[in-house]
C-alpha cells in the first residue's frame, strides 16, 4: 500500500513545519499518478510571431522567467513554428515528472495550464478511449478538446487559466475559470502576434495593448474574439425565489471544502478568526481524517494567521484554533515592515487599488513565512462577502432587489479585487491558495436563494451573512463557538490591526503633498487618485507598469467599505466619506470613523522583527531581524 520512505529533505521539512504524519512514508506510485496536481503555476503563450529566430525564443524564455515565483520548481517551453507555449511549474506532487506543457496521445494538441481540475478523475472515466501520458489533473483538457472541440469548458470543475494549441491547423483557444480565481492577461504585438500570460509583467513590455482576460470567457482563433462560456442563472441578475434551506447550503459548502483537500503536500488554512475563514477551518478539520491526505500528513489541521501584535484577527484566530484543536501558527508584522514591502507587493499584485494593496501586504508577508515552512497550499475564505452581502454597507440596501443586484456586481468584479489579491500575494512566494466559497456549485446554490433571506434585519435578529451563520449553527454538533459564528464582519486590512491602515495613510501624507494631490487629474487623467494614499500607490505602480494599457486594467470609481459605485447611492452621507475600510460604514461598524482617524506614525511601530509564535510547545520559535521584503 505504501511506497518508499520519505527522503531526508522531506523528513526535515516535515519536522520544520510541525506536521505529524500517521506514517512517515509516501504514497505508492499508483496513488501519486492518480492524484498528481498541476497546481498554481505561471503560463506564457505567444502565437503568430513574425520573428522565429533564436533571439525571439530567448526573449520568450526571459519573459517567462518573470513568472518563476509562481512556479519555482521547473520550466517548460514548447515551440511549433511561430507559436510558443511556456510554463513555470509549482510541483505539488512528484517533482520529477508531470511537467508542462501537456499533450494528447500524438502530441498534436498542446496545452499550458495554471490551476486545478477537481473532477479530473470523473472526466478521465468519461474519456476511457483516450490514453493519458501523465497523472496531471489538467491533462484532461487536451483530451476533452480532442473529444468535444471547444464546447467542453462547462464540464470542468476547478480554477484554471489555459492556452491550447491545435498543431493540426495552428488554431488555438484560451480560457479562464468562471470567477477568475486564476489570473490571465491577453495582449497583442505590433507584428500581429497574440499573447497570453498569468501576470501582466510577462507581456507588458512586448505588447502594444493588453487587457485582463474576462472570467468565464473563451477566446477562439477560429471563431474570433471573446465569448462567454459561463452562463449561470444568477449572471443574468434575475431575482431568485428559491426558499432558504440551511441544510442544502451547509452540504454544498462542505462538499466545496472537501474536494479542495485534493493534495499530496503539507497544507493549511489561512485563519483570520472571522466567520468565513473559521468555517473553512472548521469544515476542513472535521473532514480531514477521512481524506487520503490524512494518511500521509496526519489528521491535525494547520492554521495560519497574521497581524500587528494585539490585533483583532490574532485574538479571534487563536480562539478558533484552540476550539478546533488545530496546530496554529501566528505571525506578527509591524507597520514599518509593511510599508517597507509596499513596492514589492505592488509589483507582484499588479494593481494600485487601495483596498487590495492594504490587504495584500500582510497576506504577502504571511505567505513568505508559510512557504518557508515547506507548505505549498492553503485554503482561504475569499468570496463569501460578495455572495452573501457580508460587507457592512449592505446594512443600507434599500430592497432585496438592490441587495441581489449588488451581490451579482460584486461577484463579477472579484477577479479585479479579492481573487487577484489571494492569488498573486500567495503565488509571489510559490504558495497556492484555494477558495471553497467560489466553488461553482456552491455559488449556484447560494445565489439561487431568495435575497429576502439575505437582507440584514435587526428586527428579526439577522446580521450580515445570517443565512450562512444559521446554516452552521448546530447545537448538537457545533462547528464554532456562538460568538465567533456571529462575530461582526471585519475586513482583512482592518482586522490585522486598525493602526495598519492609519499608518499607511500617515506614510502617504508624508510623501504626497497637497499640491501633488490638487494636480492629480493632470498627472493621472485616467482613474484619477482622490486621496494621498491612492496617489502614493499609483506612483509605485506607474514605475513598474508605465503603459496606458496597464493602468486601464485597474478598476476605479467611488467606494465606501468596499462597495461598488452604484451602492454608494444607498446613503447620502457616504459620498462624504469615501474610504474602502469597513470603518467607513458610519453607523454600522462598532469602531466606525468618527471624524478624522487619529494619525499613527510608522516609527511608533518600527520594530524590525517579524515574530512567529506557534501555538504548541516543541514547534519552531523563530524571528528574523531582516525586514520582510
Percent of the chain, pLDDT > 70? 82
Enumerate the H helices of 184-236 as residue ranges.
Answer: none
**Set of cell numbers at residue 458:** 435587526
| 452-472 pLDDT per residue, tens | 999 999 999 999 999 999 999
Find the mean pLDDT for residues 267-275. 95
Looking at the structure, give the CATH architecture of the domain made up of residues 235-584.
3-Layer(aba) Sandwich (3.40)
Whole-angstrom distance, CA of residue 337 vs CA of residue 311: 16
pLDDT reported for residue 413:
96
How sure is the predictor about 614, in pLDDT bands with cuts at 50, 70 and 90? very low
For residue 436, report the phi and psi dihedrals to the nearest 5 degrees. -65, -30
For the chain, the domains span 42-231, 235-584
pLDDT reported for residue 589:
55
- Give the residue, 188 or 599, on which the prediction is more confident: 188
pLDDT reported for residue 263:
84
Whether 540 and 343 have beta carbons less than 8 Å apart is answered as yes
491 pLDDT exceeds 70? no
Mean pLDDT of the chain: 86
Whether 154 and 229 have beta carbons less than 8 Å apart is answered as yes
**Set of cell numbers at residue 301:** 489541521
Residues 180-200: b if buried by 16+ CB within 10 A, e if exposed = bbbbbbbbbbeeebbbbbbbb
Whether 39 and 108 have beta carbons less than 8 Å apart is answered as no
pLDDT reported for residue 558:
79
pLDDT reported for residue 581:
55
pLDDT reported for residue 275:
95
Place of cell 479530473: 120
Lowest mean pLDDT, pick from 219-233, 236-250, 413-427, 582-596: 582-596
How sure is the predictor about 566, in pLDDT bands with cuts at 50, 70 and 90? confident
Q: Is 41 a catalytic residue?
A: yes
pLDDT reported for residue 35:
43
How sure is the predictor about 301, in pLDDT bands with cuts at 50, 70 and 90? very high
| 496-507 pLDDT per residue, tens | 767 999 999 999
CA 415 vs CA 177, 182, 212: distances in Å: 10, 8, 9
Of 41, 49, 207, 562, which residue is the catalytic one? 41
pLDDT reported for residue 498:
76
Residue 286's region, left for phi above 0, alpha for psi from -120 to 50, else beta, is alpha
Whether 263 and 297 have beta carbons less than 8 Å apart is answered as no
**Set of cell numbers at residue 402:** 438592490
Find the mean pLDDT for residues 532-561. 93
572 pLDDT exceeds 60? yes
CA 316 vs CA 56, 171, 284, 487, 490: distances in Å: 53, 52, 18, 9, 11
Lowest mean pLDDT, pick from 27-36, 345-354, 366-375: 27-36
> Which CATH code for domain 42-231?
3.60.20.10
pLDDT reported for residue 529:
96
pLDDT reported for residue 470:
98
CA 427 vs CA 115, 143, 174: distances in Å: 12, 28, 21
Find the mean pLDDT for residues 417-424. 98
What is the side-by-side strand order in the sheet with 185-188? 74-80, 83-89, 42-47, 194-197, 185-188, 209-212
Amino acid at each position: 500500500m505504501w511506497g518508499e520512505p520519505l527522503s531526508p529533505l522531506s523528513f526535515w521539512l516535515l519536522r520544520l513545519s510541525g506536521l505529524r504524519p500517521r506514517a512517515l512514508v509516501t504514497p505508492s506510485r499508483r496513488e501519486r499518478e492518480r492524484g498528481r496536481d498541476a497546481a498554481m503555476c505561471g503560463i506564457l503563450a505567444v502565437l503568430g510571431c513574425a520573428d522565429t529566430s533564436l533571439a525571439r525564443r530567448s526573449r520568450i524564455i526571459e519573459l517567462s522567467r518573470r513568472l518563476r515565483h509562481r512556479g519555482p520548481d521547473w520550466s517548460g517551453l514548447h515551440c511549433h513554428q511561430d507559436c510558443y507555449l511556456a510554463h513555470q511549474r509549482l510541483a505539488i506532487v512528484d517533482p520529477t515528472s508531470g511537467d508542462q506543457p501537456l499533450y494528447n496521445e500524438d502530441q498534436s494538441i498542446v496545452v499550458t495550464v495554471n490551476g486545478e481540475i477537481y473532477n479530473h478523475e470523473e472526466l478521465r472515466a468519461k474519456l476511457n478511449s483516450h490514453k493519458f501520458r501523465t497523472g496531471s489533473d489538467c491533462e484532461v483538457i487536451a483530451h476533452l478538446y480532442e473529444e468535444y472541440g471547444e464546447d467542453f469548458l462547462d464540464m470542468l470543475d476547478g480554477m484554471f487559466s489555459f492556452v491550447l494549441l491545435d498543431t493540426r491547423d495552428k488554431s488555438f483557444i484560451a480560457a479562464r475559470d468562471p470567477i477568475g480565481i486564476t489570473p490571465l492577461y491577453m495582449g497583442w504585438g505590433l507584428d500581429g502576434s497574440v499573447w497570453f500570460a498569468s501576470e501582466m509583467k510577462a507581456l507588458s513590455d512586448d505588447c502594444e495593448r493588453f487587457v485582463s482576460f474576462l472570467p468565464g470567457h473563451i477566446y477562439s482563433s477560429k471563431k474570433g474574439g471573446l465569448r462567454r462560456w459561463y452562463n449561470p442563472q444568477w449572471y443574468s441578475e434575475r431575482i431568485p425565489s428559491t426558499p432558504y434551506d440551511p441544510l442544502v447550503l451547509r452540504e454544498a459548502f462542505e462538499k466545496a471544502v472537501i474536494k479542495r483537500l485534493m493534495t499530496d503536500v503539507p497544507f493549511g488554512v489561512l485563519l483570520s478568526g472571522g466567520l468565513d475563514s473559521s468555517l473553512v477551518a472548521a469544515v476542513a478539520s472535521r473532514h480531514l481524517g477521512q481524506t487520503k491526505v490524512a494518511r500521509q500528513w496526519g489528521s491535525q489541521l494547520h492554521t495560519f494567521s497574521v497581524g500587528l501584535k494585539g490585533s483583532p484577527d490574532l485574538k479571534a484566530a487563536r480562539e478558533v484554533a484552540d476550539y478546533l484543536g488545530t496546530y496554529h501558527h501566528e505571525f506578527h508584522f509591524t507597520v514599518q515592515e509593511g510599508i517597507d514591502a509596499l513596492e514589492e507587493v505592488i509589483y507582484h499584485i499588479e494593481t494600485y487599488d487601495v483596498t487590495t494593496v492594504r490587504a495584500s501586504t500582510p497576506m504577502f508577508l504571511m505567505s513568505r513565512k508559510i512557504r518557508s515552512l515547506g507548505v505549498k497550499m492553503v485554503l482561504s475564505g475569499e468570496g463569501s462577502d460578495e455572495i452573501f452581502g457580508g460587507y457592512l454597507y449592505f446594512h443600507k440596501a434599500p430592497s432585496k432587489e438592490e441587495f441581489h443586484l449588488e451581490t451579482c456586481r460584486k461577484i463579477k468584479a472579484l477577479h479585479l479585487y479579492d481573487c487577484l489579491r489571494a492569488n498573486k500575494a500567495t503565488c509571489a512566494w510559490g504558495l497556492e491558495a484555494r477558495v471553497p466559497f467560489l466553488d461553482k456549485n456552491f455559488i449556484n446554490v447560494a445565489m439561487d436563494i431568495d435575497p429576502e433571506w439575505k437582507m440584514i434585519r435587526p428586527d428579526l435578529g439577522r446580521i450580515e451573512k445570517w443565512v450562512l451563520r444559521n446554516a452552521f449553527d448546530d447545537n448538537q454538533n457545533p462547528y464554532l463557538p456562538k460568538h465567533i459564528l456571529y462575530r461582526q464582519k471585519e475586513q482583512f486590512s482592518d482586522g490585522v490591526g486598525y493602526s495598519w491602515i492609519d499608518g499607511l495613510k500617515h506614510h502617504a501624507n508624508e510623501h504626497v503633498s497637497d499640491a501633488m494631490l490638487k494636480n492629480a487629474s493632470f498627472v493621472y487623467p485616467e482613474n484619477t487618485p482622490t486621496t494621498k494614499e491612492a496617489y502614493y500607490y499609483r506612483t509605485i505602480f506607474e514605475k513598474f507598469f508605465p503603459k496606458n494599457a496597464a493602468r486601464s486594467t485597474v478598476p476605479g470609481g467611488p467606494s465606501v467599505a468596499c462597495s461598488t459605485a452604484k451602492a454608494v447611492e444607498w446613503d447620502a452621507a457616504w459620498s462624504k466619506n469615501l474610504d474602502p475600510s469597513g470603518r467607513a460604514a458610519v453607523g454600522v461598524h462598532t469602531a466606525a470613523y468618527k471624524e478624522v482617524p487619529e494619525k499613527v506614525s510608522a516609527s511608533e511601530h518600527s520594530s524590525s522583527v517579524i515574530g512567529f509564535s506557534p501555538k504548541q510547545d516543541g514547534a519552531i520559535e523563530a524571528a528574523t531581524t531582516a525586514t520582510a521584503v
